[in-house]
Amino acid sequence: MALDLFKRVETRKGLFAIEKITLIYNLLTTILILFLFQRMDHPWHMLLDRAMIAAMTFLLMYLYRLAPCRFSAFVRVILQMSLLSYWYPDTFEFNRFFPNLDHIFATIEQFLFQGQPSIWFSNAFPHLIVSEAFNMGYFFYYPMMLIVVLYYFFRRFELFEKMSFVLVTCFFVYYLIYIFVPVAGPQFYFPAIGMDHVSQGVFPSIGDYFNYHQELLPGPGYQHGFFYNLVEGSQQVGERPTAAFPSSHVGISTILMIMAWRGGGKTLFFCLMPFYVLLCGATVYIQAHYLIDAIVGFFSAPLIYVLVTCIFKKWFAVPLFAASKD
């Protein structure tokens, strides 16, 4: 079936499902800003950002009506997905005011495993090949997402809006958890308390320490590796002491694997599998997460996927336009 990207089509008016859910998340966080207004560093800036996102969404909806086609629909969807890079660090602007909970999660980790798997893992395999493999897997998080999105757009377009809605809404579910469960992860918490405390199994509460300190020290692994430096560079730019529990890297990549299996069949699924395994292992190896973060991320993924899919079918399931018959 030929994919006519620029062929004008009959389409419905109004917002796409992914735009509706983004505006809902926008509204929820706007209300939260108003509640925390006096405590936040730059609430007016955050409110302006949200107003601009809403205005841009409605502007694109209007422009789309002038030239409705698959390409312009793709632009609208991809724009909302690209905003995830804004919404992710935005969670820190909320949870920085709540008492940090890393001491609880590190203590649970110590109790369950009689130590810290993130320390063991990186210390046991500091070698170039292992380090680069795991860092490649961690960095593949973004290409993996793009591959699945493009596959649905070109091969399963009739499911493209559903897929994009489910993916972005799953992100928002994790982001809401991060706002109210402030866990930074070993890469932030361990340097904050000192490795002497970690080696002794002592994990003190640090309160709102991360409200004033967001420094990220270089992670473990072979520090001259190509993928090591790609991951380090991306973390220095976009990482904040937030979003550790549960691991969205594990959760979202698991959801992408479910989508790959259901929409792309065995070929896409098994092509992505090696990168998925490395990605999940990398979350602990680079000390971005406690092992329990990764475990809960894995088991929460299918539950969130089913929940969000049901939400789509009940309240948001309206086709973009009729599938091509050629």
Among 305, 201, 322, residue whose Cα is nearest residue 257: 305
pLDDT in tens, 260-313: 999 877 899 999 999 999 999 999 999 999 999 999 999 999 999 999 999 999
What pLDDT digit, counting tens, does each position of 152-176 carry? 999 998 899 999 999 999 999 999 9
Q: Is 194 left (phi over 0), alpha (psi -120 to 50) or beta?
A: left
The dihedral through the CA atoms of 163, 273, 109, 90 has a sign that is negative
Q: Are 122 and 220 in contact (CB under 8 A)?
A: yes
Instruction: Look at residue 164 in the predicted model and tell me its pLDDT.
Output: 96
Q: How confident is the model at residue 322 (pLDDT cuts 50, 70, 90)?
A: low
Residue 141 confidence (pLDDT): 96
Average pLDDT, the chain: 93
User: What is the rounded CA–CA span in Å between residue 303 and residue 298?
Assistant: 10
Per-residue confidence (pLDDT) for residue 3, from 0 to 100: 59
- Least Cα distance to 238 among 222, 216, 219 occurs for 216
**Nearest Cα residue to 276 out of 306, 254, 244:** 254
Whether the predicted pLDDT of 224 surpasses 90: no
Q: Is residue 74 scored above 60 in pLDDT? A: yes
Confidence at residue 265, expressed as pLDDT on a 0 to 100 scale: 76
pLDDT above 80 (res 10): no
Mean pLDDT of 12-16: 85
In this prediction the pTM is: 0.94
Cα–Cα distance between 83 and 26 in angstroms, integer?
A: 11
What is the predicted pLDDT for the residue at 9? 74
Domain ranges for the chain: 98-316
